[in-house]
A = this chain, B = another copy of it.
């Protein structure tokens, strides 16, 4: 199922499989956008929920759109706000029409509907717009999952109508249905009937675990049109990404590499490194001797340990850069392996290197 491709947009190409760093509030935390680009990212994700609350979509529109606002001229995908309303906002009230809620920042009242979500994403200037959907945390019973999925499908149709015809901008539908094959199939049929520029597998990475997620990914991409991008939302760890690509996923996003960087966790070819650990305090070696990111080229583990312990901003800057670099290098490795027809060997090597521990013995 794995495949390599390119998505052409007026703002540049997106090489797939693609990993999209998350720029929640108009910034990929602790990074300048030119540094994000230097890691190899072709596209960023922006969060509608955060941006609509602060600085507001109208303000970003008046200032020339999100690309100009945050100094990123390549493609941006925005989520619909639905997922974050459910996980972050206060006093949520869900109806057929949409969701009302209070801002987690200042308590102000807001409403999100499929129509309003489309309007906000248009004001932001998003290149890839996501349908407004609802998504239950897993595990949940089939009845709840089915009702939620069918509501999301009605919202998908309203999103499609509200989006209209916007040349150069794409609208993606979002498949729901939890871990139940029949519901996933029903959702896929409905989305295809409506017709979208791309299709996301939603409602995963919400507590079901990797085995259940891969269980869905064993069949879900095959339910979607072969000639459109398939996007797995909110995933994930490096081994999640590899498994998803093997199963036919083209795009992913996750806060993990940037968030981990700020908590002292580095991802490397050999596995995870907790830079807080005292064993690094005298270690002159880089995080990964084969990595070409600035953190690995210019600094020792001892330095990274020191600046993390001293709560210096440069710790977040360097570890985030390293993690995003590692993620993009992994994507390039996957693309190259698919292109060369030896993905299976690449994946074996990926797992073998991680099994050996985070670094060679001194």
Contact = CB atoms under 8 A, between A and B. Distances in A.
> What is the count of identical protomers in the complex?
2
Contacts of A294: 32
Contacts of A64: 284
A19 to B, nearest CB: 21
Nearest to A302: B63
A27 to B, nearest CB: 4
Given A55-B306, A317-B313, A71 B26 contact: no
Contacts of A298: 71
Interface residues of A, number: 35
A281 interface: yes
Contacts of A54: 306, 309-310
Interface centre among A29, A54, A298, A314 (most CB of B within 10 A): A314
A310 B24 CA distance: 11
A302 B66 CA distance: 12
Interface of A: 25-27, 29-32, 54-55, 59, 62-64, 69-71, 281-282, 284, 294, 298-300, 302-303, 305-307, 309-310, 312-314, 316-317
19 contacts: A25-B310, A26-B303, A26-B310, A26-B312, A29-B312, A29-B313, A30-B314, A32-B314, A54-B309, A55-B281, A55-B305, A59-B281, A59-B282, A63-B282, A63-B300, A69-B300, A69-B302, A71-B298, A71-B299
